[in-house]
Amino acid sequence: MSLKPNIAIDGPAGSGKSTVARELAHKLGLLYVDTGAMYRAVTYFALRSGIDVGDEGELDTLVKDIRFSLVRFTKNNIVALWCNGENVSPHLREKEVSRYVAKVAAATIVRECLVRYQRLFARTGGVVMEGRDIGTVVLPDAEQKFFLTASLDVRLERRGKELQAAGKSWTKEELCRELTYRDEMDLKREIGPLRKAPDAVVIDCTNLTVKQVIEKMLESHGGG
Ligand code: CDP
């Protein structure tokens, strides 16, 4: 019996990974896993419980207590992240969470814990997993790897529209500061930095629609 493939998608904030990964999973009948949501969930719990997000010891206790599960709604193919029996998805795009997530994600203990969970989600194959270190660290043996890029202007524009549609009020300056800060933190951290895997296919999404990106991925998927 051959297992379903795993597909890894990495790239910087706002490159369009989430939309593309969700649609690709839907098209191929695979499970969509948003690893950024897991880092955001840890950040949300840390802020809610008032711990110091720069303190690895406090993060250690917190993260070891979180049980993650993915709940897929077959009707609309949306996958919600539940932690300890609570649906945290509605909180993950809050401003404070976005502001602190890169700091929390740089903590060794947090990465170790979440990477273990992510490998568990993919152990029997059949996931489209998106993040920063999926092709390099989490699933180095994934059957397909993609690295999505886009210009900063386009990334800011896309993220601005998404936030507006979700009724969140960010100024352009705030958004630019937040995105560039996270990019820098994600690129520079010691463990699991944002990197293209040597065998990943790079797709520059600056001038492509979601449909065009998916077409490129499917071409490459079909081609082996
Ligand atoms: O949606 P967006 O691209 O803004 O970010 P995200 O995918 O929700 O990820 C939020 C943050 O989580 C990133 O900026 C990283 O700091 C962290 N992250 C990570 O370190 N490793 C991953 N595999 C995924 C996300």
Instruction: Quick: pLDDT tens for 54-86.
Output: 999 999 999 999 999 988 876 777 888 999 999
146 lines ligand 1 (CB under 6 A): no
Cβ(183) – ligand 1 distance below 6 Å: no
Residue 63: both structure tokens together: 């993260």
State the distance from the centre of ligand 1 to the C-alpha of 144, rounded, in angstroms: 20
What share of the chain has pLDDT > 90, as a percent?
82
What CA–CA distances, in Å, run from 180 to 31, 97, 146, 152? 30, 16, 22, 9
**d(Cα 132, Cα 112) in Å, to the nearest integer?**
14
**What is the pLDDT, as a whole number, of residue 221?**
67
Strands of the sheet containing 68-73, edge to edge, are 68-73, 78-83, 86-87
On the question of pLDDT at 50 being above 60, the answer is: yes
Residues 193, 132 contacting (CB under 8 angstroms)? yes
Atom of ligand 1 nearest to the CA of 118: 23
- β-strand pairing of 144-149 with 68-73: unpaired
pLDDT of residue 35: 97
Atom of ligand 1 nearest to the CA of 138: 23
Give 39 Cα–ligand 1 centroid separation in angstroms: 7
Entry field: residues in the chain: 224
Q: Are 10 and 134 in contact (CB under 8 A)?
A: yes
Tell the residue nearest (CA) to atom 10 of ligand 1.
36
Question: For 147-165, what is the mean pLDDT?
Answer: 92
Mean pLDDT score across all residues of the chain: 92
Minimum CA distance residue for ligand 1 atom 25: 36
Q: Please indicate whether residue 14, judged by its CB atom, sits closer than 6 Å to ligand 1.
A: yes
| Chain segment 165-196, per-residue pLDDT in tens | 888 888 889 999 999 999 999 999 999 999 99
Paired tokens of 102: 């890169």
Q: Does 39 contact ligand 1 (Cβ within 6 A)?
A: yes
Please provide residue 200's backbone torsions phi and psi, each rounded to the nearest 5 degrees.
Answer: -85, 145
Question: Which ligand 1 atom sits closest to the C-alpha of 11?
Answer: 3
What is the spatial distance between Cα 73 and Cα 161, in angstroms, rounded to a whole number? 25
**Does the pLDDT value for residue 1 go beyond 80?**
no
78-129 pLDDT per residue, tens: 888 999 999 999 999 899 999 999 999 999 999 999 999 999 999 999 999 9
Rounded distance from Cα 220 to ligand 1 centre (Å) = 25
pLDDT at 224 over 50: no
Q: Is 101 in the pocket of ligand 1 (CB under 6 A)?
A: yes
